[in-house]
């Protein structure tokens, strides 16, 4: 009999990678799935049933843009039938009044809306799409429906200096919760790191802005600050530990310990088309690869911090060293720390203006800012 702590708490259901936006820091893997390979409605319903049986408590419907799935309401309804709390993560593009009403009726409990910058010009330029005004309308519709509005801003060199305006905009739009998430450098963000990574000075100023805002706002809005780990001494306990708390189902049905992990080429991820979710969670080699402490090399193996940070992020270790077992290079004790230090050094000398982004997209072309 497994202990409750061994069961996943949350399921991230990446129902599609299709998206009208092209954010250069997108958390989707660089190799995006096409529509033809997406799970069908019935296959997703089976995943949600199995998640309920496994003891999952909440599901985050995300993408890409989940609203592009016309069956989203059916999937939301199925999640609710399985007793799951349902959070919808959206760009807001396509969120008509009718769609909000239907989604609420189907069982959505909260909506998380992303926003790129406090003004349309910069926002649209970051997203590679004219989305800002549509987001404003979406926020108003979510509020009018009575659903809690949670907002999320990914922070980087182009919008960090506007943090105060950003927080004010989210207050004005009626956010109940605001996640200020410094970009994490995997996948698309790693591709664009020379345009995105802020300087230490920018970060320190932004942190002071955040602290003042937190004091002013009090508990009126739940404000969260997600650290930029490149400027830390020690890594974050990424995902609360590999395969400990949550799982992600990719659009094609592969089950991942985290969204970015499909970029780890040395692991094979099982698919819900072939295996039950419970088997994948408990038994699969990919989920067991970095559980516990036995897999750890030195210096993690004999480090007093390992029970706190689990050796950091496996995806970051793979992307920066080619070895997913390696100590996260963010750690000052890592033999690969120079991989992070060099990037931080080059950010210090870089131009503060946004240069050309490599926009996220299904096409292997480099979409430029002119798309906005």
Binding site for ligand FES (CB under 6 A): 186, 238-239, 242, 258, 260-261, 313-315
**Any residues with CB less than 8 A from the CB of 218 and at least 6 apart, and which?**
none
Reading the block at residue 142, the tokens are 């979510």
Residues of the shown chain interacting with ligand SF4 in the complex, contacts defined by CB under 6 A: 234-235, 299-300, 303, 305-306, 309, 311-312, 327-328, 331, 333
Task: Say if CB 369 and CB 361 are below 8 A apart.
Answer: no
Nearer to ligand SF4, 179 or 309 (CB): 309
- Contact of residue 238 among ligand SF4, ligand FES, none (CB under 5-8 Å per partner type): ligand FES
Which residues, listed in sequence order, are joined to residue 152 by a DSSP beta bridge?
Answer: 114, 179
**Residue 258 is assigned to a ligand binding site:** no
Q: How far is the CB of 311 from ligand SF4 (least distance, A)?
A: 5
- Contact of residue 237 among ligand SF4, ligand FES, none (CB under 5-8 Å per partner type): none
- Contact of residue 124 among ligand FES, ligand SF4, none (CB under 5-8 Å per partner type): none
Nearer to ligand FES, 246 or 354 (CB): 246
Of the CA atoms within 13 Å of residue 202, those in its CB half-sphere come to 24
Distances (CA, A) of 284 to 215, 244, 308, 313: 46, 13, 24, 19
**Any residues with CB less than 8 A from the CB of 33 and at least 6 apart, and which?**
16, 17, 250, 251, 252
**Residue 23 is assigned to a ligand binding site:** yes
Nearer to ligand SF4, 27 or 316 (CB): 316
Reading the block at residue 99, the tokens are 């769609």
- Contact of residue 314 among ligand SF4, ligand FES, none (CB under 5-8 Å per partner type): ligand FES
- Contact of residue 249 among ligand FES, ligand SF4, none (CB under 5-8 Å per partner type): none
HEC readout, 149-190: EEEEEEECCCCHHHHHHHHHHHHHHCCCEEEEEECCCCHHHH
Q: How far is CA 142 from the centre of its chain?
A: 21
Nearer to ligand FES, 213 or 296 (CB): 296
Q: How far is the CB of 89 from ligand SF4 (least distance, A)?
A: 29
Nearer to ligand FES, 137 or 234 (CB): 234
Q: Which residues are annotated as a binding site for [4Fe-4S] cluster?
A: 19, 23, 26
């Amino acid at each position: 009999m497994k202990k409750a702590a061994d069961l996943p708490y949350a399921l991230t259901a990446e129902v599609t990678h299709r998206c009208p936006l092209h954010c250069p820091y997108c958390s989707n893997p660089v190799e995006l799935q096409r529509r033809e390979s997406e799970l069908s409605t019935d296959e997703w319903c089976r995943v949600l049933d199995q998640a309920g049986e496994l003891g999952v408590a909440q599901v985050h419907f995300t993408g890409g843009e989940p609203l592009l799935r016309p069956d989203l309401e059916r999937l939301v309804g199925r999640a609710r039938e399985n007793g799951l709390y349902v959070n919808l993560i959206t760009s807001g593009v396509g969120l008509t009044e009718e769609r909000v009403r239907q989604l609420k009726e189907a069982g959505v409990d909260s909506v998380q809306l992303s926003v790129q910058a406090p003004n349309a010009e910069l926002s649209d330029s970051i997203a590679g799409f004219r989305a800002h005004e549509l987001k404003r309308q979406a926020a108003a519709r979510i509020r009018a429906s009575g659903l809690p509005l949670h907002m999320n801003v990914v922070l980087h060199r182009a919008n960090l200096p506007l943090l105060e305006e950003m927080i004010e905009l989210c207050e004005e739009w009626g956010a109940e919760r605001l996640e200020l998430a410094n970009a994490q450098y995997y996948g698309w963000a790693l591709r664009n790191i020379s345009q995105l990574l802020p300087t230490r000075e920018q970060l320190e100023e932004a942190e002071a802005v955040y602290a003042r805002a937190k004091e002013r706002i009090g508990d009126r809005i739940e404000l969260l600050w997600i650290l930029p780990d490149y400027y830390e001494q020690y890594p974050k306990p990424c995902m609360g530990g590999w395969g400990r708390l949550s799982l992600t189902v990719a659009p094609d049905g592969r089950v991942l310990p985290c969204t970015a992990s499909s970029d780890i080429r040395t692991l094979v991820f099982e698919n819900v088309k072939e295996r039950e979710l419970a088997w994948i969670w408990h038994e699969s080699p990919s989920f067991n690869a970095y559980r516990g402490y036995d897999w750890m090399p030195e210096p993690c193996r004999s480090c007093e911090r390992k029970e706190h940070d689990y050796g950091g992020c496996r995806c970051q270790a793979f992307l920066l060293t080619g070895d997913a077992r390696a100590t996260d290079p963010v750690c000052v004790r890592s033999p690969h720390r120079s991989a992070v230090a060099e990037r931080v050094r080059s950010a210090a000398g870089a131009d503060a203006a946004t240069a050309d982004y490599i926009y996220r997209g299904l096409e292997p072309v480099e979409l430029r800012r002119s798309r906005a």
